[in-house]
A and B are shown apart, each in its own frame.
Chain A
Amino acid sequence: MSSSAGSSGGAIGRSLGSSLGRSLGTLDKLIEALRCLPGVGPKSAQRMAYHLLQRERLAAAQLADALSEALQRIVHCQRCNTFTEAEICDRCASGKRDPSLLCVVEMPVDLNMMEQTHAYMGLYYVLMGRLSPLDGIGPKELRLDRLIERATDGVVREVIMATNFTNEGEATAHYLSELLHARGLKVSRIARGLPVGGELEFTDAGTIAQAMFERRDY
């Protein structure tokens, strides 16, 4: 029946449930639910469920509480789209950042990394992903319209593309920059090349080749 979804979703739960001609039992439901975690297949989900129920009942209760509390309280910041408990996160609300600069990153971990540099004092926008056409992730799934709205608030002057240097990150940066250029914004892209302290001898060939293709006047 469910031939299209049958390859990945819940084979264990379904076969158990359907072979007995009833809906999923409580244990099966838990196993099925754990499978939503990245990299967790039917076997690991089963192991996790047994572990929680057998050895970690207290921790399991705390996990359940933390999860439901997080789901209730944590939302996306209306300005930068990262996770926050307030409508607008502390960083966006702080008057100490330069509101004319907007740095676009893929994920909250990228934002954290950028903050560690202390090299940037502007604001951020977190995409929560990247364009990935072959995975069906396009501008609608990424809600690019919200970023465009944010960037064209009249205060932002420069948008800095700090998406990853993968094909998907490059495609995201390219299309966003076209859309934002067309709206009169200055767009820049973080530079790529050898790491700080990098020695050619110990750098991978792909990085050196691209650094050569993208060499600049000096």
Chain B
Amino acid sequence: MSGRQRIDGQIAWVLHSYPYSETSLIIDVFSRDHGRLPLMARGARRPRSALRGVLQAFQPIELAWFGAGEVRTLAKAEWVGGMPLLGGAALMLGYYVNELLLKLLPREDAHPALFDAYAASLQALSRGEAHESRLRLFEKTLLKELGYGLALERDAASGEPVLAGRHYQYLIERGPVEASSLPDAPEGAPVRSIRGKTLLDLAQDDYSDAQTLVESKALMRRLINHHLAGQPLQSRRVFIELQEL
């Protein structure tokens, strides 16, 4: 059984950690070849433990672990480096990205493409590069890898190509439908329509248009909320509360 093997040399990121007993830590890690899994880091909370600095979130590390069962045992953790630590506003975005993975990514499902997108996003965040477009790119990859890929370039009702100059409503689990072809929403707030250009920009990962950024943020938020199925995002709540102070 592969679960009993010792796994060596896995590049991974700590998503979150939880104190366990007096001196240990359970880390929820995202590894390239084994996906997300919890590991028991024995003694990691001892005052002089060399693991203290290594098992921080937002930095790539190289891990070895062994054991069977739900929680494997961490055998080794080494600092890999290559990027500055996240600081300032990028930290909160890092928490948001980690929380998305913790809440949406099933355990022990390998997603190398998502792993690479995550690593690229954190690298970019640590260098202070275009935060918003980075997040959209990550969210898009996440949804695609989870099997909820976006349909952006075809009208889900007519099958016609989406046109930059038209307006659409994005129907969850279907795709964009030209706004004028939909009957008026019976009661309650209709979903805001989205420009065809935004959909096409999003398909090409082109976020140079300010309106594209605004509309794609709203669209991604709707889709992610849908897949969270009512689970609140703590990082979002904390961020909002900080803005209100």
The answer to whether the Cβ of B196 comes within 8 Å of any Cβ in the partner chain is: no
Interface string of A130-144 (1 = CB under 8 A from B): 010111111110001
Docked-complex contact B84 and A145, CB < 8 angstroms = no
Q: Chain A residues with Cβ under 8 A from B84's Cβ?
A: 209-210, 213
The interface size of chain B toward A, counting residues with CB under 8 Å, comes to: 36
- A134 contact from B50, B99, B239, B241, Cβ within 8 A: B99
The smallest beta-carbon distance between A185 and chain B, in angstroms, is 14
Chain A positions 37 through 57: 1 when the CB is less than 8 Å from some CB of chain B, otherwise 0: 011010000000000000000
Cβ distance B52 to chain A, nearest Cβ, rounded Å: 9
Interface assignment of B214: CB less than 8 Å from any CB of chain A: no
Q: Is B204 an interface residue (CB 8 A)?
A: no
Chain B residues, CB < 8 A from A207: 53
Asked if A181 is at the interface of the complex by the 8 Å CB criterion, the answer is: no
Contact A133 B85 (CB under 8 A): no
Q: Is the interface of A mostly helix, strand, loop or mixed?
A: helix
- Residues of chain A within 8 A (CB-CB) of B57 are 167
Residues of A within 8 A of B209 (CB): none
The answer to whether A134 and B95 have CB atoms under 8 Å apart is yes
Total interface residues in chain A, CB < 8 Å: 29
Nearest to B28 among chain A residues (CB) is A134
Is B245's CB under 8 angstroms from A139's CB? yes
Interface residue stretch chosen among A81-89, A115-123, A169-177 = A169-177
Contact A148 B99 (CB under 8 A): no
Query: Residue A204 at the B interface, CB < 8 A?
Result: yes
Q: Does A179 contact B (CB under 8 A)?
A: yes
Cβ–Cβ contact B88 & A167, under 8 A: no
B91 contact from A170, A205, A213, Cβ within 8 A = A170
Q: Which of B168-224 contact A (CB under 8 A)?
A: none
B19 at the binding interface (Cβ < 8 Å): yes
Do A210 and B85 touch across chains, with their CB atoms under 8 A apart?
yes
A170–B85 contact, CB under 8 A? yes
- B121 CB to closest chain A CB, in angstroms? 16
Within 8 Å of chain B (Cβ to Cβ): is A166? Answer: yes
A206 at the interface (CB under 8 A from B): yes
Of B84, B88, B238, most buried by chain A (CB within 10 Å of CB) is B238
Are the CB atoms of B22 and A140 closer together than 8 Å? no
Q: Is the CB of A167 within 8 A of B234?
A: no
* 30 A-B pairs (CB sep. < 8 Å): A38-B19, A38-B22, A39-B20, A39-B22, A41-B21, A133-B92, A133-B95, A133-B234, A134-B95, A134-B99, A134-B234, A134-B235, A135-B234, A136-B238, A144-B245, A167-B57, A167-B58, A167-B94, A170-B86, A170-B91, A171-B92, A174-B87, A174-B88, A174-B89, A204-B79, A206-B59, A206-B81, A209-B81, A209-B84, A210-B85
